[in-house]
Amino acid sequence: MREETQKPFRAVHKGDARHMPFLPDNHVDLIVTSPPYWRKRDYGFERQIGQEKTSEEYVAAIIDAMTEWRRVLRPSGSIFLNIGDTYWRKSLQGVPSLVEASARRAGWILRNRIIWVKKGGMPDPVRDRLAGRHEYILHFAVNGYYYDLFGYAELYSLGQKGANPGDVWVIAPQRSLGKHLAPFPSEIVERAITLACPQFVCSKCRKPRRRIVERTTELDTSRPQARRALAIAREKKLTPEHIAAIQATGISDAGKARLVQNGTDRNAKRVRKLALEAKAMLGGYFREFTFAKRKSCGWTDCGCGVPFMPGVVLDPFMGTGTTLDVANRMGRSAIGVDLD
CATH topology of domain 10-210+301-338: Rossmann fold (3.40.50)
What pTM, to 2 d.p., does this model score?
A: 0.86
83 φ, ψ (degrees, to nearest 5): -130, 130
Q: How high is the mean pLDDT of the chain?
A: 88
The half-sphere exposure of 173 on its side-chain side, counting CA atoms within 13 A, is: 15
- CA 96 – CA 275 distance, rounded (Å): 47
pLDDT of 42 above 50: yes
Q: What is the pLDDT of residue 263?
A: 45
Question: Looking at the predicted structure, is the pLDDT value of residue 269 above 90?
Answer: no
pLDDT band at 179 (very low <50, low <70, confident <90, very high): low
* Cβ atoms < 10 Å from Cβ of 106: 13
Q: Where are the domains of the chain?
A: 10-210+301-338, 217-292
H or E element in which residue 150 lies: helix 149-156
Query: Is the pLDDT confidence value at 1 over 80?
Result: no
Residue 96's pLDDT is 97
Summarised one tens digit per residue, pLDDT across range 270-310 is 888 888 898 899 988 888 888 788 899 999 999 999 999 99
Say how far apart CA 34 and CA 50 lie, in whole Å.
12
